[in-house]
Amino acid sequence: GTTDRNQAVQGLVLSDGTYYVIYSAQGVPSLVGGVIQGSSSTNGSTFTSNNARDFNLEGAGILGARVSAQVSPQQVFNGTVSYDNGLRVGFTTTYDSDYQIRPSREILAGSYDGDVAFSLGVESAELTFSDNGSVSGIGVSGCTLSGNYAPRQTGNVYDVTIRFGGFPCV
């Protein structure tokens, strides 16, 4: 979806109410601007989260917020992020049916070029997901990462644990 500040958004609301929303830099849909994460409850078509944390990669740091939205299962998720500093950002999204694909290690296994984000920003990296559940990678700075992943029981979602190496990692 998109925000009223010209940002691209992609998100997941998991079966336990935990959610993750990745948003782009304003006007640059291919550049990650940050991630909003929290827990939520849904009553009918109303989604509510009072403990959102925005991990902003554009210099604003970690921001507290609340999220309220109107949902229609497997159709739309539209609402507002209300920050503790008074800023309000509206968003509209549509459901992606790829969520119904059953995840598996065999589907994800392979090497991918992409980005990793850490406290000093975002850098290009190559990540490799092995069919045994391990993940490894290296960023353009030489920062290495390793970890594990496993498919979740519901949704096309994987739990991933990443450990960053020593210097030059931040």
Distance between CA atoms of residues 158 and 156, nearest Å: 7
Q: Strand, helix or coil at 18? A: coil
Burial level of 158, CB count in 10 A (0-12/13-18/19+)?
Answer: middle
Q: pLDDT tens digits for 108-128?
A: 999 999 887 776 677 899 999
Q: pLDDT tens digits for 22-36?
A: 999 999 998 889 999
Q: Strand, helix or coil at 97? A: helix
Over range 6-21, report the average pLDDT: 94
Distance between CA atoms of residues 170 and 167, nearest Å: 7
- Residue 1: the pLDDT is 96
Beta bridge partners of 48: 41, 68
Q: pLDDT tens digits for 32-89?
A: 899 999 999 999 999 999 999 999 988 898 999 999 999 998 999 999 999 999 999 9
Write phi, then psi, for 41 (nearest 5 degrees).
Answer: -135, 155
Q: What is the pTM of this model?
A: 0.85
Asked if residue 88 lies in contact with residue 5, where contact means CB atoms within 8 angstroms, the answer is no
- Residue 140: the pLDDT is 93
